[in-house]
Structure 1
Amino acid sequence: MNTKLEHIISTLPKDDFAVILSLIPTKLMNGSIKHVQYLQKILEKSPSSTATKNIPVEDRLIMSDLCRMIEKYIVINQALSSTEFIEKSLLSHYRSSEDDKLFSEHFQRASKQCSKDLKNASYFQFVSDIQYERWQFDQLKNRFSNAEAEDIITHSEVAFISKKLMEIVSLAHQSALISKKINTDFIDFLEPYIIRKKYLDIPCVSLYYYAIKMIYEPDEQMWFERFGKDLEENTAFFPAEELKTLYFQAINYCIRKHNLGDKAFSQQLLDYYITALNRKYLLTNGYLSKNTYRNINTIAIRMGRYEDAARISTDNVQYLRKEEKDGAFNFNMANIFYAKQQYQDALDALRYVDSDDHLSNLFAKTLMLKIYFETKQERLLDSHLDAMQVYLTRKKIIGYHKTNYSNIVRYTRKLMRLNPYDKNAKNKLAKNIRDEKLLPDRDWLLKQVVE
């Protein structure tokens, strides 16, 4: 795939091209038969068959035209997928035409659209927009408007505040992952107004407001409780894509608490995960992330819910990308077998874990490390640690991951050399493990020191 045209073509489903080919000769696209024939020729070729060099000037011009036409089709398709956009565009057109009959009929139709279940920011913006169209139309006719100015302003404010809070939530979560605080001065400025206007009674404002509080005031559990209550009571008022964002906020908060050792959040975390899985909120473009798939399995195992872990892994492997299915499923099963001390079954499953993803490989290698240590296979463990260190040295692994797993190797070697009867040495090693900043599986290492 070398040309821009081929790249654009690759973003669309094949079924769309029958429509595109039929539209090219119309006035909408302003194309000709030569454009149709050229696109047909491109569609029949393999993706890599068109070289960018030595393309005749005339062909380049045709390709440029086709890019413009297909992009116009994409824009039209996107616009027609939005009922709100269609209704507002028609209202605006009939207002500009000053057609009383058409405007009134369409306003009634658009108003019925407002009575639908969704009550998110888009709903409030849509209500404000059509009411404002009504107001403008009445002004053209020099008559008193039935549209309430206060309603227009209130709905517009709610939409704006909700969208701004939603934006901050998405950006703040990502920034928190890289320890970079974003500027929230505007939200601080808005907060008294939100409270004074009682906008926290409106779910599309309150949920994102509480989500921001959960990110920046994680120790104040009341924000999470209020968020959870509002989410449970108002799920029906939000589209699936938005619920995906909201459930991720609840899940991420529970993960942070769980990772800090607050076991009270483990059950809530698993419950949110299971609900989000069942409702397909965790899918992106129809696929489940292998990391999320692994995380859910790990949480269930830590809670001792091995049957649930196996069921969740089996039921949801279908949503992984094809190239990830075998490795991710077998790693999850190996983790379950390990937790049940079925070590040979775990090792057998790990043989099928082969990934291009270095982090997935390190998870698998660490699990093998634990099995060799716990089954006292010292020679195998020694060779495995050598191989793991070589892997960490040779592969291009992000800095802190390299440090994490190098520390596991280092402390496992110290465990192997530890005199189990030397209390001082054990206490010193335990302290070093506790004080180490970057160290996954810290609890496992400490447990081995004690035992």
Structure 2
Amino acid sequence: MKNSLLLEALETLDKNERRAFGRFVRSPFFNLREDVAQLYDYLSECLWVHNVVPEKEQAFRRLFGRAEYDDHRIRVAMSFLLKLLERYFQYLVQSENEAGNGLARARAYRRRQLTRHFHRSLRAAKKSGEQEPYRSAGFFYWRFQLQVEEYRFQASRKRAAEFNLQSITHSLDTYFCSAKLRQACLALSHQAVYRASYGLGMLAELLAFLEGNELLELPAVAIYYHCYRALSEPEQGSHFTQFKELLFEQGHLFSLPEQQDLYLLGINFCTRRYNEGDDSYLKSQLELYEKGLKQGLFVHESRLSRFTYRNITTLGLILEEYEWVEQFLYAYRETLEPEYRQSMFNFGLARLEYSRKEYGKALQLLQLANFREPLLHLSARAIVLKIFYELQETGPLEAQMEALRVFLRRKKVVAYHRENYGNLLKYIRRLMELAPGNRKEREVLKEEILAEKALAERAWLLEQLNLP
């Protein structure tokens, strides 16, 4: 049974869900097969009492005694149990969606032509749905579906009457525009990172339709409209500004997962602009991170990704927000995965102390850290090289350069990183060999550094040339 779909799904159940699913399995409304109920009891005992994964042959003996082993028979029982588990998962999802359940009740009463029941459920569904805090595309799709049920009920009784067709059109337009623009934003953002190419269908017609349209007054449409325009026309800074303002002022109208997507769209946009030489968005990027952190958008199950931790630290250091970075490093230290916590914290603090030119503290922190990841190890070594170069301590610098050269040669380092840091060593050597006061030689070296495709610490190397 190891690696079976059934066991993989069962292992996701928590203690309360196990008991509830046990009742679900034994309910004659859902299951009439005793062997399936017995199989669940047996698997529960194995998985959560004895912590063992049984073989199919063992399960067969428990269910069917001394009968000759039949692989098909045990597979059928497993299949039935998996289908029951899938129905249980569906029930859990549906039970969380009160607005969707109200729509389903109204539809059921309409189909049975129960007028009073329909009107009662329709009123309840409207009240429940309108009380929902979110006004994203999903809300307008729910409203559209409910309005369609109301129209169908009315149309089945009145041939000539004023129906709610205009309301249906408005809800459908809102849903479609919001969902289409959201998909376009995600596609454009993904396309920029992974160099993919996506056709966006009738998006051009949609954008033309929205020009001057009152739908742009709705956050569900406006926030994705300005996001898309910012992504597709990055030189038009006004669209990003409007997107960010809408996100900060109206972000609460979207679910937390959707808010996270929106914040990441904004953050990734700022990163791309910086990589293209425009640093005017860095402050906005830090604001997005700050607000997202306050709302818990980047912390999942009490864990902040070590990559996010490092990216935020880098951004704060670029902006020279040293006090803020220090507060951040300490505040989110405990949210890091235990196996990376100390190394990531020490590395971040070392970078901070290096930026403050507290070189002794930085070196001490780097010596304390145990970097498991090769890239983090390389980054730490680069800081050490920069410190000794800036202190003009040639002996220690030569020793560290040789140590890095040996590391690149002997360790399993990705070819791209080997080239990056190999070139760093090359250009530090070139810096050391520069004749004092030879401006022309420095300008030639600057052009070489700029032209190098794979090069770690490019900005730092350029700074050491002291050229405009």
The structure 1 residue matched to 2:39, chosen from 15, 35, 38, is 35
1:202 aligns with 2:218: yes
The structure 1 residue matched to 2:174, chosen from 137, 158, 179, is 158
1:118 aligns with 2:134: yes
Change (3 A) 1:73 1:432: same
Per mean C-alpha deviation after superposition, the further-off stretch among 214-223 and 343-352 is 343-352
1:303 aligns with 2:306: no
State how far apart, in whole Å, the 2-side matches of 1:332 and 1:29 are: 56
Letter in 2 for 1:424: K
Letter in 1 for 2:228: I
1:148 aligns with 2:158: no
Offset of residue 308 of structure 1 = 0.8
Question: What secondary structure is seen at the aligned counterpart in 1 of 2:197?
Answer: coil
1:79 aligns with 2:80: no
1:342 aligns with 2:358: yes
Question: What secondary structure is seen at the aligned counterpart in 2 of 1:450?
Answer: coil
1:373 aligns with 2:389: yes
State how far apart, in whole Å, the 2-side matches of 1:394 and 1:63 are: 50
Residues 42 and 59 in structure 2, CA contact (< 8 A), matched pair in contact too: no
Residues 210 and 227 in structure 1, CA contact (< 8 A), matched pair in contact too: yes
The structure 2 residue matched to 1:217, chosen from 233, 238, 251, is 233
Change (3 A) 1:410 1:146: farther
For residues 322-341 of structure 1, the aligned pairs below 5 Å read 322-341=338-357
Residues 125 and 156 in structure 1, CA contact (< 8 A), matched pair in contact too: yes
Q: Which residue of 1 aligns with 2:64?
A: none
Residues 257 and 265 in structure 1, CA contact (< 8 A), matched pair in contact too: yes
Letter in 2 for 1:224: F
Residues 99 and 129 in structure 2, CA contact (< 8 A), matched pair in contact too: no
Q: Deviations over 1:374-398 (max 9, x none)?
A: 2334344334334434444555555
Change (3 A) 1:229 1:414: same
Q: Deviations over 1:282-336 (max 9, x none)?
A: 2345432212211211222222221110101111223222222212111111111
State how far apart, in whole Å, the 2-side matches of 1:265 and 1:368 are: 30
Give the paired residue count: 451
Per mean C-alpha deviation after superposition, the further-off stretch among 135-144 and 329-338 is 135-144
1:364 aligns with 2:350: no
State how far apart, in whole Å, the 2-side matches of 1:233 and 1:152 are: 28
State how far apart, in whole Å, the 2-side matches of 1:52 and 1:31 are: 18
Change (3 A) 1:401 1:9: farther
The structure 2 residue matched to 1:243, chosen from 246, 259, 262, is 259
Letter in 1 for 2:385: L
Change (3 A) 1:245 1:323: same
1:64 aligns with 2:65: no
1:181 aligns with 2:197: yes
Q: Which residue of 1 aligns with 2:461?
A: 445
Q: Which runs of 5+ in 1 are unaligned?
A: none
State how far apart, in whole Å, the 2-side matches of 1:343 and 1:278 are: 32
State how far apart, in whole Å, the 2-side matches of 1:215 and 1:53 are: 57
Question: What secondary structure is seen at the aligned counterpart in 1 of 2:195?
Answer: coil
Letter in 1 for 2:114: D
Q: Which residue of 2 aligns with 1:9?
A: 10
Residue identity over aligned pairs, in percent, reads: 25
State how far apart, in whole Å, the 2-side matches of 1:31 and 1:375 are: 78
Q: Which residue of 2 aligns with 1:97?
A: 112
Q: Deviations over 1:134-190 (max 9, x none)?
A: 111122334666651011012012112211211221222122012333223421132
Change (3 A) 1:393 1:35: same
Question: Alignment RMSD, CA only?
Answer: 2.6
1:279 aligns with 2:295: yes
State how far apart, in whole Å, the 2-side matches of 1:221 and 1:60 are: 60
Residues 166 and 208 in structure 1, CA contact (< 8 A), matched pair in contact too: yes
Q: Deviations over 1:76-108 (max 9, x none)?
A: 212222223212211111111111121111100
State how far apart, in whole Å, the 2-side matches of 1:29 and 1:420 are: 86
Residues 286 and 315 in structure 2, CA contact (< 8 A), matched pair in contact too: yes
Offset of residue 352 of structure 1 = 4.2
Question: What secondary structure is seen at the aligned counterpart in 2 of 1:415?
Answer: helix
Residues 3 and 52 in structure 1, CA contact (< 8 A), matched pair in contact too: no
Residues 2 and 48 in structure 1, CA contact (< 8 A), matched pair in contact too: no
Residues 140 and 171 in structure 2, CA contact (< 8 A), matched pair in contact too: yes
Q: Which residue of 2 aligns with 1:233?
A: 249
Letter in 1 for 2:283: Q
State how far apart, in whole Å, the 1-side matches of 2:228 and 2:25 are: 48
Offset of residue 355 of structure 1 = 4.2
Q: Which residue of 1 aligns with 2:430?
A: 414
State how far apart, in whole Å, the 2-side matches of 1:34 and 1:325 are: 45
Find the structure with the greater CA-based Rg.
Answer: 2
Per mean C-alpha deviation after superposition, the further-off stretch among 79-88 and 141-150 is 141-150
Q: Which runs of 5+ in 2 are unaligned?
A: 61-70
Letter in 2 for 1:23: F
Q: Deviations over 1:243-295 (max 9, x none)?
A: 11112222222223334454432322212211111111223454322122112
Per mean C-alpha deviation after superposition, the further-off stretch among 47-56 and 58-67 is 47-56
The structure 1 residue matched to 2:400, chosen from 381, 384, 394, is 384
